[in-house]
Structure 1
Amino acid sequence: MEGAEITRALAAASSIATSAGLQVDDTVVLNNSNKLTARLLPADVLARIAPAGEQVAEFEVDLARRLARSGSPVATVDPRVDQPIHCSDGFVITLWTYYPPEDHPIGAAEYADALWRLHLGMRDLVVPAPHFTDRVESALVLVTDPELTPELPDAGRHLLAATLNRLGGSVAARGGEQLLHGEPHPGNLLSTSTGPRFVDFETLLPRAGGIRSCSCAGRRRRALSRFRSPTAAGLSPADVGDDHGMAVGSR
């Protein structure tokens, strides 16, 4: 969001929070991307604000509540409000618990444990979500068309196309699926006093391979690099995968 739209979004969120009985005298923007995330003070509530045409609020709130009930490490909606989803001035606003950030970074073993527990909670969830092969096909359309991705060099184009084709087929061939967080990167992980908590469930995907499936194996490899071996973090070599791929196994 930019300029006047940010001002409108913050005003809408403040008005909604106030009408819910929370005091709001100030707003602090924490993140500005497809959604605006703001801390509302002194109520200390987190507002996520999205244009009405680009929101999945009901899906995210429902999923977060279900995962929280199963003990999964996720951010929760603010317990002080009965209705966490509101519409105002062309925005959809959701009110979440604000978790003060911890000073210490999340370690590799702590991250791996949180990711494991999150996906244990997701194992039996049944929700509408695009299949991961749909995402692969969408990516291939971009990668293989120079007019759509003119800045992508030929070497990178060939590498990405070959990787998507190879891994897309090998993952699908394994059979057995469960829902996974589509983007478990540091920006979607909070360091809180009660441990890491995941946020942002817009990109959930059913993936092949069972509970040990994990997107972005490269991230996991980097996270585990401080260990002398994957087993030092309680993981098998199959969990780590190769540098460019998706770690897939079964349990």
Structure 2
Amino acid sequence: MPPSLEDMTDPHLPGGYTGDELTTLITHACRELGLDGTSPRMLRGHTNAVVRLGDTVLKIARKGTAPQTVERTVALVRWLQDHNFPTVPLHPRTPQPARLTGEALATVWTYYPQPAEPVTAADLAAPLATLHRLPAPRIPVRQLDNLTAIRRSLTAINTLDPETLHFLTTRADRLEHALSKVEYALEPGIVQGDPQHRNALHDPAGGRTVLCDWDTIAHGQPEWDLVTVEIHCRRFGHGHRHWTDFATAYGLDITAWPGYPVLRDIRELRMITTNARKAAHTPGSLCEVQRRIKGMRENEDGLLWNIL
């Protein structure tokens, strides 16, 4: 195994696994699924452990993930593929999901080499618009509920002081009341849940942008997807032009919609509380979480965030 996998230390647990555990899981996957273990390379590790293995990508679900969660994601991605939706495809010759050693579950995807030019926000517009127009699948789909996710994180956070937790809880209460008065502009449908530059890839053969990372797929209001794109453009340094190009391509500028401030504040609160909950396993992220909370207290809507 290369150093990037062997030298994993406990403060940086990709998917909640130690370096030794990951080595065992990857070795098992290569042996049982016929994957190329010559030069494994970690692609992501903040939530799940995502590893490139030759022409495939092995996505090991976070430790403790319920099997039905992974099974639902696989079923929905297959449904998307049946509708010719632009998604990174599941690897066709691998049983999905794959059970590795112990309780670990994984999915295997086709690897897409990427050009030097990164995906832009405008590239997300066409696949998102298509997604939002798809008919409801017969497969059960969870309902998107950002406030419930926020409250779940608040009860699990052990890295923040009581006063800060009270501030975040009070903010959630206020935003829940404000949300009850929002009148949506779009029809509900299938949403990606976390559309952003890092959850999309260039399809080198098809010459199009495809979406990936479907753990957050849900049924809900498309406005949540649009607000999420806007937040990523504003908070992570992509610039205002990225957002205006997306809004033009999609056909709606969500920032001009009256409900935008409420959805924006809820979505940003979820991003903060989710990372605060994970900070116990990724200690280096706590400083950034606290910086974001300070900016929230001071209403710094233009504060740039560091990617966690």
Counterpart of 1:86 in structure 2 is 98
Give the match's secondary structure for 1:29: strand
CA distance in 2, matches of 1:46, 1:36: 10
Deviation at 1:140, TM superposition (A): 5.1
Corresponding residue to 2:36 among 17, 23, 29: 23
Q: Are residues 1:46 and 2:57 paired?
A: yes
State the one-letter code of the partner of 1:61. Answer: V
The one-letter amino acid paired with 1:73 is P
The AA in structure 1 aligned to 2:188 is E
Q: Between Structure 1 and Structure 2, which shows a larger proportion of strand residues?
A: 1
Aligned mates of 1:142, 1:53 — CA distance in 2: 16
Q: CA deviation at 1:63?
A: 1.1
Residue 164 (str. 1) matches residue 180 (str. 2): no
Query: TM-score, normalization: structure 2?
Result: 0.62
Amino acid at match of 1:94: T
Contact 1:217 1:244 in 2 (8 A): no
The answer to whether structure 1 residue 182 and structure 2 residue 205 are counterparts is no
What letter matches 1:46 in structure 2?
V
Query: Are residues 1:117 and 2:130 paired?
Result: yes
For residues 135-170 of structure 1, the C-alpha deviation after alignment (integer angstroms, 9 at most, x for no partner) is 3245257679x9996464887765554333212442
- Structure 2 CA distance, aligned partners of 1:230 and 1:22? 37
| Aligned residue among 51, 62, 72 for 2:85 | 72
Name the CA distance, whole Å, in 1 between partners of 2:43 and 2:85.
Answer: 24
Higher relative contact order (CA 8 A, sep 6+): 2
1:58 maps to 2:71:
yes
**Contact conserved, 2:40 with 2:51, CA < 8 A, in 1?**
yes
Shift of residue 6, structure 1, vs aligned partner: 3.1
Please tell me whether residue 13 in structure 1 is matched to residue 26 in structure 2: yes
**Structure 2 unaligned regions, length at least 5:** 1-12, 265-308
RMSD, aligned CA: 3.7
Would you tell me which structure has more helix in proportion to its own residues? 2
Find the counterpart in structure 1 of residue 261 from structure 2.
Answer: 244
Structure 1 residue runs of 5 or longer lacking an equivalent are: none
Q: Percent identity?
A: 19
Find the counterpart in structure 2 of residue 35 from structure 1: 48
Closer, same or farther: CA 189–7 of 1 in aligned 2, 3 Å: farther
Residues 19 and 213 (structure 1), Cα distance of their counterparts in 2 relative to 1, 3 Å cut: same
The 3 A distance-change label for structure 1 pair 127 and 244 is farther
- Figure out how many residues of one structure are paired with residues of the other and give that number: 238
Deviation at 1:95, TM superposition (A): 1.3
Select between 153-162 and 13-22 the one with higher mean Cα deviation: 153-162
- In the other structure, the counterpart of 1:233 is 249
Identify which range, 198-207 or 146-155, moves more after superposition: 146-155
Separation in structure 2 between the aligned mates of residue 182 and residue 85 of structure 1, nearest angstrom: 21
